[in-house]
Amino acid sequence: MAYLLGIDVSTTATKTVLIDEEGAVVATAGSGYDFASPRPLWSEQEPALWWEGTVSSIRQVLAQSGAAGGQVAAIGLTGQMHGLVLLDEKNEVLRPAILWNDQRTAAQCDEIRARLTPERLIQLTGNDALTGFTAPKILWVREHEPEVYARVRHLLLPKDYVRYRLTGDYAVDCADGAGTLLFDLKARTWSDEMLAALDIPRPWLPQPYEGPEVTGVINGQAAGLTGLAPGTPVVAGGGDQAAQAVGVGAVEPGIVALTLGTSGVVFAPTDAPLVEPEGRLHTFCHALPGRWHFMGVMLSAAGSLQWYRDTLAPATSFDDLTNEAAAVPAGSEGLFFLPYLTGERTPHPDPQARAGWIGLTRRHTRPHLTRSVLEGVAYGLKDSFRLIQTAGLGQIRQVRLSGGGAKSALWRQILADVLDVELVMVNTTEGAAYGAALLAATGAGRFANVPAACQATVQITGRTSPGPDRLAYAQLYPIFCDLYPALRPAFQAIGQQS
């Protein structure tokens, strides 16, 4: 029996999944860690934590399964996107990695827009300059830590630092590369125009590969530490959202992945490098050749329900809260919840956006409050769906739902009604690491291509179709859309006082 390994280098843990040739999960393991906030809005992490987590989790899954390292046919990598890892000429880490959720680079984002114009930036890279992306972090280091910048010889993303430790090679997949703001979206490689405009040397950047392509093999040192066999192929893999989409089978236009976790992600594959003209959606390369994707990100999705329960009903279970809310009619009798607890990204890239209930009256009770939170998140996700459709995707045939919030039958029904589309659940629950393992299986020749791998391994386990309430929500959603523009001046004023 041969096995495939998927490794997910996330912000809070490194997770490893071992699957067999049929796609069945054989073993999983994880190794947790924290990140640092040395100043307000900063977020940093030591790359050594990722490597230690990788070694530990690989050894755990081999021990759990009883598999020998030589039975692993290939390895796929995924992980947190946009982070900046800097290496010197001896391949030593120069400073802690600056992570995707770091917010220090607003001035550098303005500088990037000024150097290229916002319109050209979006047409070239598919994205506006946002503080989370890699390129503005590079400019920040150059401006604020010139002694570090002078020693830089290699720029890597988090999972690709782990790749370097496994293989000794510098490589990146196209999906993760597109998240740096240094990629030519159409050409699927580094943009000479971007590098020239920002004065970043191309030799510092790793070689781009498509997700299933082999980038190197396990070296002797890594083999000794992990228990894997020297020479085991390592494929490019994908950024975490692209690998997550592979893991649920969202690899063709019309099949959308919706992740209802702490944040909410709407991921829509495309067969052309489409862009949203104002940059309100992310557009990146997908983790398979000839595919790209739109992505809308909502910062507080299931996180809104978590906050609500923890703050206002800490002794009550989520099931009890949603069971109460099921008795409330669609629309919560005129009560709306704005889910902007931590600002927002799509379609309102506004860190000053605030959450709130609008329309409260004395007749509203806890079940109304609960249902309005579920509905507010659904409306916010519909904002991304609407943008994706108007940007050129066309018909959405099916939405594949995953994440902790998907466990609620009421929430699934509200989402199906608000979005007016069928939602399906699938059998794969291991997220991005499973997608990375499928990319490894494809690279090892177990499947002809990534869609074939998904068709063979991902099965639908449940369906939720729109019901009669979709008509009520169609009338209520435009009211929700009017609330943020009306309140934005107040949000800005509040932000200046806090």
Kindly state whether residues 467 and 489 are assigned to the same domain: yes
Residues 6+ apart with CB under 8 A from 136: 105, 108, 109, 111, 112, 129, 130, 181
- The residue out of 236, 268, 291 marking a domain boundary is 236
Q: Is residue 104 one of the residues assigned to a domain?
A: yes
Q: List pLDDT tens digits, range 308-340.
A: 999 999 999 999 999 999 999 999 999 999 999
Instruction: Report in angstroms the alpha-carbon separations of 394 from 100, 225, 246, 284, 397.
Output: 30, 49, 21, 18, 9
Q: Which of 192, 208, 236 is the last residue of a domain?
A: 236
Is residue 269 in a domain? yes
| Cα dihedral across residues 316, 322, 323, 325: positive or negative | positive
CA atoms within 13 Å, Cβ hemisphere of 481: 13
pLDDT band at 452 (very low <50, low <70, confident <90, very high): very high
Average pLDDT over residues 179-185: 97
Same domain, 141 and 18: yes
- pLDDT-derived band of residue 390, with 50, 70 and 90 as boundaries? confident
**DSSP string over 81-97:** SS-BEEE-TT--B-SPE
Q: Which of 84, 87, 77 is nearest to 222 (CA)?
A: 77
Asked if 460 and 403 sit in the same domain, the reply is yes
Contact 263, 301 (CB under 8 A): yes
User: Which tokens in the block code for residue 249?
Assistant: 């089978």
Point out which residues pair with 30 in neighbouring strands. 15
159 domain residue, yes or no: yes
Computed over every residue of the chain, the mean pLDDT equals 95
Backbone angles phi and psi of 360, in degrees to 5? -60, 135
Q: pLDDT category, 397, cuts 50, 70, 90?
A: confident
The confidence score (pLDDT) of residue 207 equals: 98
Which pLDDT does position 103 carry in this prediction? 85
**158 shares its domain with 196:** yes
Residues spanned by the domain of 495: 250-498
Strands (E), 380-419: 398-402
DSSP letter at 332? G
Are 287 and 159 within one domain?
A: no
DSSP E strands: which ranges in 224-308? Answer: 233-235, 238-239, 255-260, 264-270, 282-285, 292-298
Q: What is the CATH number of the domain that holds 304?
A: 3.30.420.40
Residues 30, 58 within the same domain: yes
Q: Would strands 189-190 and 233-235 be described as parallel, antiparallel, or unpaired? A: unpaired
Q: Which of 50, 43, 36 is nearest to 93 (CA)?
A: 50
Tell me which DSSP letter residue 350 carries.
B
Place of tokens 């990140």: 35
Q: Is the pLDDT of residue 393 over 80?
A: no
Over the Cα atoms of the chain, what is R_g?
22
Give the residue-averaged pLDDT of 280-298: 95
Q: What is the mean pLDDT of residues 18-39?
A: 94
Instruction: Please check whether residues 187 and 282 belong to one and the same domain.
Output: no
pLDDT of 132 strictly over 70: yes
Which among 194, 212, 236 is the end of a domain?
Answer: 236
**Percentage of the chain with pLDDT > 90?**
89
Amino acid at site 176: D
Evaluated on CA atoms 439, 443, 449, 453, the torsion sign reads negative
User: Does residue 181 share a domain with residue 269?
Assistant: no
pLDDT, tens digit (0-9, with 9 covering 90-100), for 454-475: 999 999 999 999 999 999 999 9
Same domain, 273 and 418: yes
Q: How many domains does the chain have?
A: 2
The answer to whether residues 225 and 301 belong to one domain is no
Nearest to 223 by CA among 96, 93, 86, 72: 72
| pTM score, whole prediction | 0.92
What pLDDT sits at residue 498? 66
Predicted confidence at residue 345, as pLDDT, reads 86
User: Could you tell me if 236 and 209 are in contact, meaning their C-beta atoms sit under 8 angstroms apart?
Assistant: yes
Per-residue confidence (pLDDT) for residue 343, from 0 to 100 = 87
- 91 and 231 together in one domain: yes
Provide the token pair at 99.
């992570």
Which residues are known catalytic residues? 240
